[in-house]
């Protein structure tokens, strides 16, 4: 298992190795880790992040639709669809797990009416949990005293899906693979999404949902089965739900809070930074060409898709959010976390858990669960979003 990097200097050294390359803003985005003294070219905002997330969805829909309707050669069709599905699923996850997430925290705009209206529109379009119910279970429960208890609906989801302490790591990996391809998991997940839009919602939200379902039905009818499956169902249901599970599973360590452990300590001990990247080769000499080839391949086929699919936006350092959940400048997460991390290191109080590579974060979480004693669970109330 490649576990957490030991300490701030070692983690910062990995990011600093990217200074051999141009375009440092790109590497800050990809890795999720900032250089302490880097000056950004412009100041981001919530509006910019909303624009990018919707753009990803639009790009994805155009590419997946084009792969079905316009591209003739099979290899190009497959490539076009894969890239399109990556953008469509990534954009949808960005909107739900980052934009709506910060919206229910009240961090998108100063007006909470605007935050709520935007979240209601977006959650209707992507058929996920409405504003009020999401805000209740996430802000007041997951970020409150219920964190890392059976009342935490995120932890309950992990355990109910079979990722429980005491199982062997191989059994947990097998459970993950079987869950990702399980029709029961996907049907249950999507049923929950539909139900959350129809049951126990305000009248206006019910009307929004019914109107959108009718619109999707008309689109599916006129577009045909192939377009419906390849453009709508696979990216926004199946792949979306796969990405949601992997994100949730690697977001925290998911150990039940121990007796005597404070709520604050539980947040610190169970939260991870999931940086996407690995140390650059030291130079561009001929003897390093093989290392650069490997570095490029792993960034293109592992770190970039993981950044887009599983840890969009501020999710890459979600551990900082759990410490400073009231800070409104969520889009400046990398710089603010780096300032705080550097301060803790200077004071010899560094207690962040830095993991480079989402595959390493997954291995760390499953190893941590495997090394714990078994716990007794009953039917737990949970939500997937």
Is the confidence at residue 271, as pLDDT, over 80?
yes
Can you give 143-196 as a three-state secondary structure string? CCCCCCCCCCHHHHHHHHCCCCCCCCHHHHHHHHHHHHCCHHHHHHHHHHHHHH
pLDDT of amino acid 1: 43
**φ, ψ for residue 311, nearest 5 deg:** -130, 60
pLDDT of amino acid 2: 66
**Contacts of 336-340 spanning 24+ positions with Cβ under 8 A:** 337/34, 337/273, 338/33, 338/34, 338/35, 338/36, 339/36
Across all residues in the chain, what is the average pLDDT? 92
Residue 255 sits at the vertex; the CA angle it makes with 253 and 261, to the nearest 5 degrees, is: 115
Is the confidence at residue 107, as pLDDT, over 80?
yes
Taking a C-beta distance cutoff of 8 angstroms, is the pair 376, 261 a contact?
A: no
* Alpha helices in 21-168, H assignment, sequence order: 24-31, 46-69, 74-94, 101-104, 112-125, 131-135, 153-160
Instruction: For 275-305, write each residue's pLDDT tens digit.
Output: 999 999 999 999 999 999 999 999 999 999 9
**Contacts of 111-114 spanning 24+ positions with Cβ under 8 A:** none
Taking a C-beta distance cutoff of 8 angstroms, is the pair 350, 341 a contact?
A: yes
Rounded average pLDDT over 69-98:
95
Instruction: For 1-45, write each residue's pLDDT tens digit.
Output: 467 888 899 999 999 999 999 999 999 999 999 999 888 878 889
End-to-end, the C-alpha distance of the chain in Å comes to: 29
What are the residue ranges spanned by the domains of the chain?
Answer: 8-371
Task: Specify the 3-state DSSP secondary structure of 3.
Answer: coil
């Amino acid at each position: 298992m490649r576990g957490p990097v030991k300490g701030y200097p070692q983690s910062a050294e990995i990011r600093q190795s990217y200074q051999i390359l141009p375009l440092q803003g790109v590497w800050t985005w990809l890795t999720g880790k900032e250089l302490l003294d880097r000056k950004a070219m412009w100041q981001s905002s919530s509006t910019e992040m909303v624009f990018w997330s919707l753009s990803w969805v639009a790009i994805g829909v155009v590419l997946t639709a084009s792969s079905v309707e316009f591209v003739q050669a099979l290899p190009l069709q497959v490539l076009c669809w894969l890239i399109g599905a990556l953008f469509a699923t990534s954009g949808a996850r960005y909107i739900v797990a980052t934009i709506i997430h910060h919206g229910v925290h009240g961090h998108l705009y100063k007006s909470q009416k605007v935050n709520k209206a935007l979240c209601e529109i977006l959650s209707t379009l992507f058929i996920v949990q409405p504003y009020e119910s999401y805000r209740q279970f996430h802000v007041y429960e997951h970020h409150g005293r219920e964190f890392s208890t059976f009342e935490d609906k995120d932890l309950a989801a992990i355990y109910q899906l079979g990722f429980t302490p005491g199982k062997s790591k191989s059994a947990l990996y097998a459970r993950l693979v079987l869950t990702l391809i399980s029709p029961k998991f996907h049907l249950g997940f999507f049923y929950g999404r539909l139900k959350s839009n129809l049951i126990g919602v305000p009248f206006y939200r019910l009307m929004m949902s019914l109107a959108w379902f009718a619109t999707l039905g008309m689109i599916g009818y006129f577009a045909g089965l192939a377009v419906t499956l390849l453009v709508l169902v696979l990216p926004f249901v199946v792949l979306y739900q796969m990405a949601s599970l992997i994100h949730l599973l690697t977001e925290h360590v998911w150990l039940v809070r121990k007796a005597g452990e404070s709520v604050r300590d539980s947040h610190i001990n169970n939260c991870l930074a999931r940086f996407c990247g690995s140390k650059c080769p030291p130079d561009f000499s001929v003897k390093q060409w093989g290392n650069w080839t490997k570095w490029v391949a792993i960034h293109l086929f592992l770190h970039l898709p993981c950044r887009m699919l599983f840890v969009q936006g501020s999710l890459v350092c979600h551990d900082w959010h759990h410490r400073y959940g009231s800070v409104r400048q969520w889009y400046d997460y990398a710089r603010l976390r780096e300032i705080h991390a550097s301060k803790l290191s200077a004071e010899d109080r560094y207690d962040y858990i830095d993991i480079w590579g989402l595959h390493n974060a997954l291995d760390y979480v499953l190893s941590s669960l495997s090394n714990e004693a078994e716990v007794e669970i009953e039917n737990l109330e949970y939500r997937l979003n």
